[in-house]
Amino acid sequence: MSDVTGHDHSVQQSPLVSPKRTAYVYPSDLECDVTTGTGATLHMRPIRPDDADQLVHFHLNLSSGSIYRRYFSFHPELSENEVEHLTTVDYVDRLAFIVEDGDQLVAVGRYDRIPDTSEAEVAFLVTDRYQHHGLGLLLLKHLADAAFPIGITTFTAETQVNNRSMLGVFNDSGFPVTSSIEDEIVSLTFPIKPTEKSRARYAGRRKRPQGKGKGKHS
């Protein structure tokens, strides 16, 4: 998608170009359309406070397994404070992308900078019927593209040791992931500076035929 300057944000930005992003100013230049592994075109954009109702509805429709893998606990409803925290971001140190199919929110990916560092923690949640369509990898790529030019150099994440889809997304990203395991939780860290490998993995994954890759982690 192009902004008023004609810049195409689907193309990897140069790490030397620092886009002007001002805290709490909605970065509409980060909006774009994405194509899933099944060929559907969905809209990805930064979250806004007025997405609260959509987010509540999204959460209510998740399976308990998906919620558990995201929050590490049984958490069927979001509290008002949580909804406000998740939908109100500053677009610099905290950024969340949502993916919409029409007016339906189907996925969220976010980073939260670890204060006073160049690291940010990432987390993802894709509604059950859209899982394995490539949205996890797309969200990771767009979060990295948004974070790196403003000085975030490393992503970290924690996930359960049996969360093969999440581990698959990180390991397939082309970023050089390192990990350690403690108490059934995998801690991952990786630099997000774009590399030929990360660009190639992203391009290659998008072209995969539907269904390829499923079953290997069943």
> Which residues of the chain form contacts with ligand COA (CB under 6 A)?
37, 66, 69-70, 123-126, 131-137, 157, 159, 163-166, 168-169, 205, 208, 210-214, 216-217
CB of 6 to ligand COA, least distance (A): 29
C-alpha 3/C-alpha 12 separation (Å) is 15
Instruction: Considering the complex, state which of residue 92 and residue 126 has its C-beta at the smaller distance from ligand COA.
Output: 126
Q: How far is the CB of 53 from ligand COA (least distance, A)?
A: 20
In terms of CB distance, is 149 or 168 closer to ligand COA? Answer: 168
Q: Which residue is nearest to ligand COA (CB)?
A: 37
- Residues 160, 37, 107, 195: is their CA dihedral positive or negative? positive
Residue 3 CB, nearest approach to ligand COA (Å) = 26
Give the residue with the Cβ less far from ligand COA, 45 or 133: 133
Q: How far is the CB of 5 from ligand COA (least distance, A)?
A: 30
Angle at 89 between CA 86 and CA 95, to 5 degrees: 95
Between 7 and 208, CB nearer to ligand COA: 208
The neighbour count for residue 1, using CB atoms within 10 Å, is 16
Which residues have C-beta within 8 Å of that of residue 82, sequence separation ≥ 6? none
First CA to last CA distance, the chain: 36
The CA distance from 161 to 184, in Å, is 5
- Reference 203, options 147, 137, 152, 145; nearest CA is 137
Report how far residue 110's alpha carbon sits from residue 136's, in angstroms, rounded to the nearest whole number.
11
Minimum separation from the CB atom of position 65 to ligand COA (A): 7
Nearer Cβ to ligand COA, position 21 or 66?
66
**What are the b/e assignments for 150-174, b being 16+ CB within 10 Å?**
bebebbbbbbeeebebbbbbbebbb
Min CB(140)–ligand COA separation in Å: 8
Nearer to ligand COA, 163 or 179 (CB): 163
Question: 59 with 129: CB under 8 angstroms?
Answer: no
